[in-house]
Structure 1
Amino acid sequence: MSFTPMIRQYLEIKGQYPDAILFFRLGDFYEMFFDDASVAARELEITLTGRDGGSSERVPMCGVPYHAVDGYIAKLIGKGYRVAICDQVEDPAEAKGIVRREVTRVITPGTIMEGQLLEEKKNNFLACVAQDENGYGLAVTDITTGSFMVCSFSGARAYHDVMEEIARIMPAEVIVPFTEEEENGQGIFHWTGPLADELRLMGPVVSGYSNKAFSRAQAVRALEAQFGENSFLNLETVSPGLAVTAAGALVSFLKDTQKRDLAHLNEIQFYQPGKYMLLDLTARRNLELTRSMSDNTKKFTLLSVLDYTVTSMGGRLLRNWIEQPLLIKEDVIERLDAVEELVGSTLSRQDYKNVLKNIYDLERLAGKISFGTVNPRDLIALRKSLAQLSPLKKLLSQSTAAILKRISDDIDPMEDIKELLDNAIADEPPLSTRDGGIIKKGYNSEVDSLRSVKLEARSMLAGLEERERSRTGIKSLKVGYNRVFGYYLEVTKSYLSMVPDDYRRRQTLANAERYITPELKEYEDNILGAEERLLRLENRLFNQIRDQLLAQIRRIQSTAQAVAGADTLYSLAEASAAGRYVRPEINNNGRLLIRDGRHPVLEKALGPGLFVPNDTEMDNEQNRLALITGPNMAGKSTYMRQVALIVLMAQLGCFVPASEAKIDLVDRIFTRIGASDDIAGGQSTFMVEMNECRSIVASATARSLIILDEVGRGTSTYDGISIARALAEYIHLRIGAKTLFSTHYLELTDLDSIPGIVNLNVAVKEQGENIIFLRKVINGRADRSYGIHVAKLAGLPLEIISRATEILKGLETARQSNELAAAALEEKSFSHDSIENPVIEEIRQLDILGMTPLEAISKLYELQKKIDKKIFNNLMA
């Protein structure tokens, strides 16, 4: 099939980027052709048309204006597409034949720089995973801010740990290696390892990248080119091969897609997830730290309660602090000292806010400078931000808290950069460099001279208009301009008979004619020539200024990080003051004491004074596992969550919602709350529950805090009781972690015979056949679950309620008659002496940790059949 040279050029470039929609620059538009045009027209809701491509059939085509391209690209990226930008790389006026075009950038979900798809207070991470026989390497970057982090995972839990870390980071895109084979001239891509499918279920876009980039030799070359010679050696000391491979492949991917010098990626930060409190995906979801379970937004989350940040940088750092609470006591106390100082002075907090609110996003401004996408108004934002650095530094220097003083030392006022921008950039420049008016008067003499020429010529045009009106007698004559025809003299048709002979027609309109004269043509040449030279000069000067800023990127970035730290501490202080929180006492002695504890999110949602506070007291000896009983809707889950959130808040360095708090540092918080199927993973509610319990017992330590809510409710009553009891005993006697264990199985309450296990219950008040939830956690066990009362509150038909009451009475009578038999089955724990009963002895010898959930269920069923069937017949009578 024969195509025109332009279409052949398009097809050649498109062949290099088959997985991206190619935006092909033609004049003032980006055009798409063939299948790309059909897809883009549908997704962007624009007109699909066609053009002559040189063949017998018209080529499908659609296009968007180049000046509005960002919005269209954002829409496609948001729908999961990649976009390759193909620009003209030579002046059409100087081109011999077809204008040369090249792809100047490939935009993917993890490489977005445009603002339409970026959340101001959330990072847009791009991750890369490498794997070898030792484990996994993970590299993560946010190219909008310049952060570049790596870590590694090894050992039996390496795969689990790397997936949990990716779940914490929630990158927009994850790069994994593929191999490429040829089949009928087409590339066939093969994913390696189980990563791709697992990652897709988590949400990020998974992108394959050449397996060659993951070789050690190429990774080292990429790292040295970006970060300098031997930049990878620090990684090798802590993570041989793994971090190097992931980091190098990520750099190569960025260079291949972004096709520019990424100067703001100038430092590799190696971090160890184990240095922070570990929170798996389940815990972060159940505690609703940064995303609500109801709508996946920030609303009704811990982040929403604590976020008083004024800058975007502070907002992103606060999110990171919430997701990575501290483990080292001294670090926690250092943050608390700063928060205490700020809480103690309302005036100081207001001063900080007044300064911070005038500081723009220095991190992303640095990214735009490096990327070459910074515009004149961005530089005004930078200039305004720099003007606030000295006042902020002075405020911080007056602090007594060590961390605030250190932040003050880290802030560089950058007076030289501010002076440059003050002198060079106009106070109100246009958004685009294409429009001129960027450079301030007095910065460059040639710019001033060309502007004078323009002004003089425009003044002369005004004089020309008056002279021509007088000479011709055409009172309505006027001088005008448009980009197509240039300057002209416009005469309405009623005056055409008065047009002089020296007027040459330039354009015909419905009601007028437009003319040019030799004198007007001379003015036009002078004006347009001066404007063109001025525009080129201003662009050259702007690029020079940008290059000067580029050389100072590290200064801007380090100061941005310091400002973010100041803003985040201000936010914690403001939240603490607003919520009437208290400073927690941090210890490592095992004691967890909370007086009048409150759930921070629910309290804010309800309003002041409406939340019922509760006490919590736990330690490593007498109060290590608390069994919590009480009716549904009484507040058991809220109470357990509030304890976990208070501990987490303390360890991120914030005051806590209580009247007194003594916090024993925990290494992990685990939660098992709620019930849901994993349809995509092919797992039932009960299987999901058992998998979560398996993960807890496999990972928890004596320093962990475990929250368990209604374990065993997804199977039969006796299976559930057995599993719940065995799990509680194992956690208490084998792991030794502080545990809050809520249950409706009242049969478990006799576990308080084991030292260290205590019973708590949520109090209710009965009024006739109705109950009132008091929301108060008290010592002791509940004697009933009130499930039928809750069903009545939910509005079930009275007939169902009456029948349920009748059945319950029968079951309770049967239970009482078999209480002795049931007690014999439940009495045995991991620590008790053996009872001479073959079934119980068989239970005692089971290797619970060595069994899968399915094996455990099958074994319970087998044991159940061996037990005297009369017991169960009596219970079910």
Structure 2
Amino acid sequence: MITETPMMRQYNEIKKQHKDALLFFRMGDFYELFFEDAKLASKVLGITLTARSKGESAVPMAGVPHHAAESYIRRLIKAGQKVAICDQLQDPDEAKGIVDRGVTRIITPGTVTEDTLLEDKSNNYLMAVLEAKDMMGLSWVDLSTGRFEVEDVQKERLFDEFARLNPSELLLPEETAKNNTSFMERIHAECDVMITFRPDWEFAGDTAYRILVEHFGTTSLEGFGCEDVGPALGAAGAVIQYLKETQRTSLKHIMRVQKYRLDNRVLMDKATQQSLELAQTIRTRDREGSLLGVIDQTKTPMGARLLREWVISPLRVSADIKYRQLGVKELFENSALRRELRDILGNIYDIERISTKVSCGRANARDLIGLKQSLSKLPALKEKLGFCITDILASLEQQLDVLEEVRILIGASIVPDPPPTIKEGGLIREGYDASLDELRYVSKNGKSWIANFQAEEIARSGINSLKVGYNKVFGYYIEVTNVHKDNIPQSYIRKQTLKNAERFITPELKDYETKVLTADERARDLEYDLFIQIREKVSVYTARLQRTSEAIAVLDVLATLANLAAENRYIMPEITDDLELKIIDGRHPVLDRRLGGESFVPNDIHLDGAQDKIMVITGPNMAGKSTYIRQVALLVLMGQMGSFIPAKEAVIGTVDRIFTRVGASDELSRGQSTFMVEMNETANILNNATERSLIILDEIGRGTSTFDGISIAWAITEYIYQHIRARTLFATHYHELTELALLFPGIRNFNIAVREWGDEIVFLRKIVDGGTDKSYGIHVARLAGIPKEVIQRARIILNNLETATLDVNGKPKFAPLKTEQEKKQPKQLKLFTSKQDMVTEEIKKLDISRMSPLEALNKLDELKKRLEGE
């Protein structure tokens, strides 16, 4: 039986309130964990698992030093754990019994603010989701920056927003887990996110509204433009309630809630974001190799985070795009100014996150010095911007607040190179506080004061042998030998009698003793109090610091895009409200940089949006079809960010959405095959694209039989042309689709140029007019190392397929059965043999362009059965 000590009783009571978190229980210089928490921490952190007591009373126990706790907490958070910090709330020396303890903060993946726990180039979002009929209410906050937003979205777009925002932690009503198991299964399957369930009442509209107005100190949300928000309002209330519960400190740096504007953003579904590799690559999930990884030359963390937002969520309104473009253009053309601005920006720290740490009471002295050093660069930055003429740069100059009073305060109060802790002293400058200076003087100059005091007492008493000493029992004393006892001043107070001498004290010596013995401790306490006061004074400027950091971020991104353009021969595309898409000598922004501009083959595109709407692109494997169509999407996206693009000339009629259907993989956890994933993504395009969208298709229909595949691909292309009329690039191996150009004037054929010499081919990587009837798949197979015997056999089969030869029994001769055992096996149906041309003609006769996709598929299925019967 385990005997519960008073300390363990205290631990158990606190642990009951935080069952879902690892409890870091402060005991002296360590944070200790007990029971299952200790076992889990030991496994994750690789620390020793010990025991408190022995035998049946043994309690599993593990600990980490409190001064190094942050590094251990970081590893636990990355492992998906929550950590409750239980600190000592009183000085152990003052405690009469058990030291008072309490949880001062709960750290979760979505609520971290420490630099070591965060990725400086990405936002760290805590998101809440509330379902309401056909809508989903979303609210997300980055606690480290104070950014707080809401959005109501259609249910089918929820996972697109997950992909865009990449939250670290998700808050859901408890009822969601009980009533929507399919939704929960999909989250677990597709999202790498910690899920925290909260009481349903926290998401209730009235409760949420009250929580929000109380937090902002307003009577309504009208000033934030959020009075008409739907279920997202409930999600926002749950976010604030959760932060109050976990942080237990000021949240005043969250100063506003904003409604995310969908009407001025290019929407991209999850599949598009992933296939275009905007922020990370598909295979490695790394930033390097993605569009963001290639173009990010930002100098500040704030700029890096903003650039990611611009990449993931480009603008839709042409006027807003041009507003950014002109700023990039001015910095592009003025290389000296661009260079000077970027040099200054390189010396600015993360003001946005430092101001949050200050506001939350978590900044140390080094944070304040970093803030001071950053602010010292702002006057020069503001002066340089004063020469700019474009509206966006002029507005940034106005928004940039140099905050001279903050810089002066920190400079006058904090030493240039302070220690990392704030309770050990050494933070405050000499001359800032007279009381602190006196304590430091007493502490550092004790010996000289004693020597002076002794000399004064000798002179006053005339006793040359008088000396001042010290011991731990009696403290400071004046010692006089018995020879001079008649000359002892009356003001002396006897303290101790020795064999040959007497020891005395005086009020002055006693006062000094009190000062010198406690000077160090009192100085440390005073420094801490002074630092807290200074930090609170700086926190008053949080709003101004946030506005300034926003201006710095925008300037950093504009200067980065200008520098990128200057270094890589980018041009400013013409942005219009027409539907024309024209790019001359366009280059893939990632491959162009990685391969080198001279070795990458540029290509053109011209869809006028009126007549020419669809490009059907055929050509061999490995020739560059997929690269080309992705390139076009990325160049349009960059243009609508406000960036210059790698091309010789460009006109971009703005797009409202970008869709890609490129590649596919099984989603076995959801019971979906490769082909089902392909069809789901295609259905999303057909149901949501508009005439202003850009559609990128790669190999539609390859996940099923050839007959089904070509039928679906044909029907989809016709449907896009007839009903959606969106600008579309379709890369395909189905050469039959080239005949669409004979039926519809707005569909044009293109192919990747190839040169042949015997069995060898050379991919020229150039898009040219016209279709092709070869895929060169066997050539690619040979390059991949397929055995020579297989390659030779494949060539025979391909030759017979292409000539559609039949034997005397009307059976295909390209793969005759050779063994009796093989003859007994079921024969596989061969669809495109000598009837191939007839099949194409039959598809044309159906006129499936006038049908819905479902009707078209039914008709094609009927045709398939009829032809198979014939």
> Which TM-score tier does this pair reach, normalised by the shorter chain?
0.7 to 0.9
* Secondary structure of residue in 1 paired with 2:606: strand
Give, in whole Å, the separation in 1 of the partners of 2:272 and 2:288: 18
Report the TM-score, using the length of structure 2 for normalisation.
0.88
Superposed displacement of residue 326, structure 1: 0.6
* Secondary structure of residue in 2 paired with 1:680: helix
Give, in whole Å, the separation in 2 of the partners of 1:264 and 1:663: 40
* Cα RMSD (Å): 2.7
User: Is residue 152–residue 239 contact of structure 1 (8 Å, CA) maintained in 2?
Assistant: no
Give, in whole Å, the separation in 1 of the partners of 2:358 and 2:394: 29
Q: Does 1:266 align with 2:267?
A: no
Q: Does 1:198 align with 2:186?
A: yes
Give, in whole Å, the separation in 1 of the partners of 2:541 and 2:408: 14
* Secondary structure of residue in 2 paired with 1:131: strand
Give, in whole Å, the separation in 2 of the partners of 1:60 and 1:481: 45
Between 238-247 and 443-452, the greater mean CA deviation after superposition: 238-247
Give, in whole Å, the separation in 1 of the partners of 2:207 and 2:4: 39
Paired residue type of 2:30: F
Superposed displacement of residue 272, structure 1: 2.3
Q: Deviations over 1:503-549 (max 9, x none)?
A: xxxxxxxxxxxxxxx99999986544101111111111110011111
Paired residue type of 1:164: D
Give, in whole Å, the separation in 2 of the partners of 1:56 and 1:352: 68
Between 815-824 and 371-380, the greater mean CA deviation after superposition: 815-824
1:444 counterpart (426, 433, 448): 433
Give, in whole Å, the separation in 1 of the partners of 2:604 and 2:656: 22
1:360 counterpart (336, 349, 370): 349
- Which residue of the partner structure matches residue 548 of structure 1? 537
Q: Does 1:848 align with 2:848?
A: no
User: Is residue 199–residue 206 contact of structure 1 (8 Å, CA) maintained in 2?
Assistant: no
- Which residue of the partner structure matches residue 97 of structure 1? 97
Give, in whole Å, the separation in 1 of the partners of 2:753 and 2:84: 63
- Which residue of the partner structure matches residue 822 of structure 1? 839
1:175 counterpart (171, 176, 192): 171
Flag the 1:591–1:150 CA change in 2: closer, same or farther, 3 A.
same
- Which residue of the partner structure matches residue 784 of structure 1? 774
User: Is residue 733–residue 831 contact of structure 1 (8 Å, CA) maintained in 2?
Assistant: no
Q: Deviations over 1:256-280 (max 9, x none)?
A: 1111111111111111223200011
- Which residue of the partner structure matches residue 474 of structure 1? none
Between 717-726 and 301-310, the greater mean CA deviation after superposition: 301-310
Superposed displacement of residue 734, structure 1: 0.7
Superposed displacement of residue 829, structure 1: 6.0
Give, in whole Å, the separation in 2 of the partners of 1:615 and 1:704: 19
Q: Does 1:864 align with 2:864?
A: yes
Unaligned stretches of 5+ in structure 1? 181-188, 465-478, 488-501, 503-517, 833-843, 871-877
* Secondary structure of residue in 2 paired with 1:309: coil
Give, in whole Å, the separation in 1 of the partners of 2:668 and 2:735: 31
2:703 counterpart (710, 714, 717): 714
- Which residue of the partner structure matches residue 185 of structure 1? none
Flag the 1:93–1:618 CA change in 2: closer, same or farther, 3 A.
same
User: Is residue 19–residue 82 contact of structure 1 (8 Å, CA) maintained in 2?
Assistant: yes
- Which residue of the partner structure matches residue 796 of structure 1? 786
- Which residue of the partner structure matches residue 39 of structure 2? 38
Q: How does 1:314-333 map to 2 (within 5 A)?
A: 314-333=303-322
User: Is residue 603–residue 767 contact of structure 2 (8 Å, CA) maintained in 1?
Assistant: yes
Superposed displacement of residue 367, structure 1: 1.0
- Which residue of the partner structure matches residue 292 of structure 1? 281
* Secondary structure of residue in 1 paired with 2:775: coil
Unaligned stretches of 5+ in structure 2? 454-468, 477-495, 497-504, 805-831
* Secondary structure of residue in 2 paired with 1:867: helix
User: Is residue 305–residue 575 contact of structure 1 (8 Å, CA) maintained in 2?
Assistant: no
Give, in whole Å, the separation in 2 of the partners of 1:38 and 1:521: 54
Paired residue type of 1:198: R
User: Is residue 279–residue 292 contact of structure 2 (8 Å, CA) maintained in 1?
Assistant: yes
Q: Does 1:159 align with 2:173?
A: no
- Which residue of the partner structure matches residue 147 of structure 1? 147
Flag the 1:647–1:554 CA change in 2: closer, same or farther, 3 A.
same
- Which residue of the partner structure matches residue 685 of structure 1? 674
Paired residue type of 1:74: R
Superposed displacement of residue 795, structure 1: 1.6
User: Is residue 235–residue 243 contact of structure 1 (8 Å, CA) maintained in 2?
Assistant: no
User: Is residue 716–residue 853 contact of structure 2 (8 Å, CA) maintained in 1?
Assistant: no
Give, in whole Å, the separation in 2 of the partners of 1:120 and 1:381: 15
* Secondary structure of residue in 1 paired with 2:697: strand
User: Is residue 74–residue 117 contact of structure 1 (8 Å, CA) maintained in 2?
Assistant: yes
Give, in whole Å, the separation in 1 of the partners of 2:770 and 2:227: 50
Flag the 1:626–1:119 CA change in 2: closer, same or farther, 3 A.
same
- Which residue of the partner structure matches residue 813 of structure 2? none
User: Is residue 224–residue 258 contact of structure 2 (8 Å, CA) maintained in 1?
Assistant: no
User: Is residue 272–residue 660 contact of structure 2 (8 Å, CA) maintained in 1?
Assistant: yes
Q: How does 1:594-743 map to 2 (within 5 A)?
A: 594-743=583-732
Q: How does 1:116-131 map to 2 (within 5 A)?
A: 116-131=116-131
Q: Does 1:453 align with 2:470?
A: no
Superposed displacement of residue 794, structure 1: 1.4
* Secondary structure of residue in 2 paired with 1:207: strand
Larger radius of gyration: 2
Superposed displacement of residue 820, structure 1: 4.4
Give, in whole Å, the separation in 2 of the partners of 1:232 and 1:238: 5
Q: Does 1:773 align with 2:763?
A: yes
Paired residue type of 2:42: A
Give, in whole Å, the separation in 1 of the partners of 2:513 and 2:675: 81
Superposed displacement of residue 94, structure 1: 2.3
- Identity in percent: 46
Give, in whole Å, the separation in 2 of the partners of 1:480 and 1:587: 87
Flag the 1:98–1:756 CA change in 2: closer, same or farther, 3 A.
same
Give, in whole Å, the separation in 2 of the partners of 1:395 and 1:91: 52
Give, in whole Å, the separation in 1 of the partners of 2:568 and 2:587: 10
Paired residue type of 1:276: R
Superposed displacement of residue 226, structure 1: 1.2
Give, in whole Å, the separation in 2 of the partners of 1:573 and 1:191: 51
Aligned positions, number: 796
Between 225-234 and 718-727, the greater mean CA deviation after superposition: 225-234
Superposed displacement of residue 88, structure 1: 1.1
* Secondary structure of residue in 1 paired with 2:396: helix
Give, in whole Å, the separation in 2 of the partners of 1:16 and 1:718: 63
- Which residue of the partner structure matches residue 491 of structure 1? none
Give, in whole Å, the separation in 2 of the partners of 1:175 and 1:461: 65
Superposed displacement of residue 215, structure 1: 1.6
* Secondary structure of residue in 2 paired with 1:434: coil
Paired residue type of 2:844: E
Q: How does 1:304-323 map to 2 (within 5 A)?
A: 304-323=293-312
Report the TM-score, using the length of structure 1 for normalisation.
0.87
- Which residue of the partner structure matches residue 9 of structure 1? 10
Q: Does 1:533 align with 2:522?
A: yes
